[in-house]
Structure 1
Amino acid sequence: MAAFVEALLDRFHERTPIRAGSLIVTVFGDAVVPRGGVLSLTSLHEIMRAFRISDTLVRTALSRLVSDGWFERWKVGRNSYYQLTSQGRGAFAQATQRIYADPPQDWRGGFDLVLLENAQDRQTAKAKLSEAGYGALGPDLFIAAAAATGGEGAFLRLAATPADLPTARRLVERAWPLEEIESRYTRFTNIYSGTLKALQSGAPFTDLDALLVRILLIHDYRRAVLKDPLLPPPLLPEPWAGTAARALCGTIYKTLLPAAERWIDAHAQNDEGALPEADGGFRQRFAAFPAIADAGLLG
């Protein structure tokens, strides 16, 4: 195993407790769903052992994920197979758009204001607004860039146009914890900048190494980007740490993708045999970022 891969795994295992279930969801969402969505337990064990996660911990995590409605499982002979339920696929589909697609760039100068009223479950309503990209200006008042979608429910919705850009940025600073979001991106960049340097210097790696780093990369990037409202650039500080983090993630991902897919082709199995080819949208992930070799960055 390559030294830069060992370093990432060491760092991953410094976190306690190890959230095997969350990593399994990343494996499926990133690598399995685009290729039919079904994976054998044998194949999953092979991947998770490479992450230094025991079969016992994997089985415990899967049992919990099935009980919580995230996965379904079935057996064919002595073999077990898993796939995300419609609930799990829906949740990761929302995350997929935020992780892999280019964030919005346009802003027409306005905001959506949402006043929460007559909601039976206020905590659930607030959580849904947050997931839709809204920030809080008060206990019941939420704001989003005008292009935001979501926020349907027991709400009073208004359109607002700030007097000028500095006023708009002050609203943004009040509604969202930008410093905390930036710190997440900075941590991500600090971790994976060493990976980029290793790849640029031509460090050798196996197909399995590529798959492991690809999954860890998305697992960690997801932790940052899903907390980000993905505001348009005019509303963000300059420079914005999320821009560098996204470029880093996209470049590493595109560089590792061919080797990682080779490992899946050769080793991953579903209930009918080898996994099918990835769906059409898969190749559009991080479309704006070239692989290192394609960008002429190899030393």
Structure 2
Amino acid sequence: MVREDATIDGGELYTVANALGMTDQQVRLCVRRLVADGQFTQQGRGRKAILRATAATMRTLAPDVEFVRFMFEQDRGAAPWDGCWHLVAFAIPEAARPARDAMRDGIVRLGGAPVQGGLYVSANAWEAQLDALAAGLEVSDHITTFTSADLRIGQTESPRRIAARLWPLDDIAARHRRLLDFARRTLRRLRETELDDTELLTVTIELAAEFTRAMEPDPLLPPQLLPQPWAGTKARGMVAECWSLLLATETHAPTRLFRAYGDVIRDVAVHAGRVS
């Protein structure tokens, strides 16, 4: 609900929250917690309030446009795997346990899978992101990165079997099938129904939530390592169609999410032959 000027309109917030099944009291408690945590400032009260995201919050909300661009490039076969595994090992002292935990969580968010204690692997180049993560946690001296073209885990050598062993592909595929079903219903609704501003915002939030639920555990493995056909490819294509329609129908106060991804979505549409 954060708009391009970093604000949230209280009236829109309560109205959309109600449409999603939340009570006014739940919204008030959430807003109070966000303000107390320093994530937003508040001017006014209730539905007349204006919430403004702090600088720290805006940094965390900044969408990873290149991540999404790479995702769609993979889906259309424009980013084939080069057969190289990317690994990181870390041994951070117990005295820096919070940083150690944060490093591990950050590696997993980047799509890494544990091979054994302190050793993680990805099929994609991630060294720049790892360097930034380690520098932010002040543990750069405690990590080692390297690549391998002949990774073997136990007696497993086949890259596709390694991927199936390291990542929960069945669960990830199930999430994508759920996303596909939701995106298909959403696309039909956007095409067949004229939605007002509140309904458009509600659809936007629901679609973003389903997309996040599907993508958070997805390591974006290259197609060569995935069972085919892969559910994520079709699901993301359907989401891109929904995004295109939402971009075309946004009103006077567009949300940041779809504007930020606008160029990526237009590229997807071009390659899919949907626009000239």
Mapped to 1, the partners of 2:235 and 2:259 lie a distance apart of 26
1:124–1:77 CA distance, 2 compared to 1 (3 A):
closer
1:237–1:157 CA distance, 2 compared to 1 (3 A):
same
Q: What do you get for the CA RMSD once the two structures are aligned?
A: 3.2
Counterpart of 1:284 (choices 259, 263, 272) is: 263
1:146–1:43 CA distance, 2 compared to 1 (3 A):
closer
Counterpart of 1:134, as a letter, is: G
In structure 1, stretches of 5+ residues that fail to align are 1-26, 269-274
Deviation at 1:282, TM superposition (A): 4.7
Counterpart of 2:86, as a letter, is: D
Deviation at 1:160, TM superposition (A): 0.7
**Does the alignment pair 1:125 with 2:115?**
no
**What is residue 83 of structure 1 aligned with on the other side?**
52
Could you tell me whether the CA contact under 8 Å between 1:254 and 1:289 is conserved in 2? Answer: no
Deviation at 1:163, TM superposition (A): 7.1
Mapped to 1, the partners of 2:42 and 2:35 lie a distance apart of 11
**Does the alignment pair 1:51 with 2:20?**
yes
1:82-101 per-residue CA deviation (whole Å, 9 max, x = no partner) reads: 23333332333255554x53
Counterpart of 2:176, as a letter, is: Y
The within-5 A match list for 1:9-20 is none
Matched residue SS, 1:287: helix
**What is residue 214 of structure 1 aligned with on the other side?**
204
**What is residue 191 of structure 1 aligned with on the other side?**
182
1:186-242 per-residue CA deviation (whole Å, 9 max, x = no partner) reads: 111123323334445x34433432222122111111111121111222222211111
In structure 2, stretches of 5+ residues that fail to align are 135-139
TM-score normalised over the length of structure 2? 0.76
Could you tell me whether the CA contact under 8 Å between 2:113 and 2:166 is conserved in 1? Answer: yes
Counterpart of 1:170, as a letter, is: R
**What is residue 137 of structure 2 aligned with on the other side?**
none
Mapped to 1, the partners of 2:80 and 2:106 lie a distance apart of 23
Deviation at 1:150, TM superposition (A): 2.3
Matched residue SS, 1:284: helix
**What is residue 6 of structure 1 aligned with on the other side?**
none
**Does the alignment pair 1:159 with 2:147?**
yes
TM-score normalised over the length of structure 1? 0.71
Counterpart of 2:183, as a letter, is: Y
Among all aligned residue pairs of Structure 1 and Structure 2, give the percentage whose two residues are the same amino acid: 24
Counterpart of 1:75, as a letter, is: Q
Count of aligned pairs: 248
Deviation at 1:279, TM superposition (A): 10
Matched residue SS, 2:120: strand
Matched residue SS, 1:137: strand
1:84-137 per-residue CA deviation (whole Å, 9 max, x = no partner) reads: 333332333255554x53415243221121122124323222101112221111
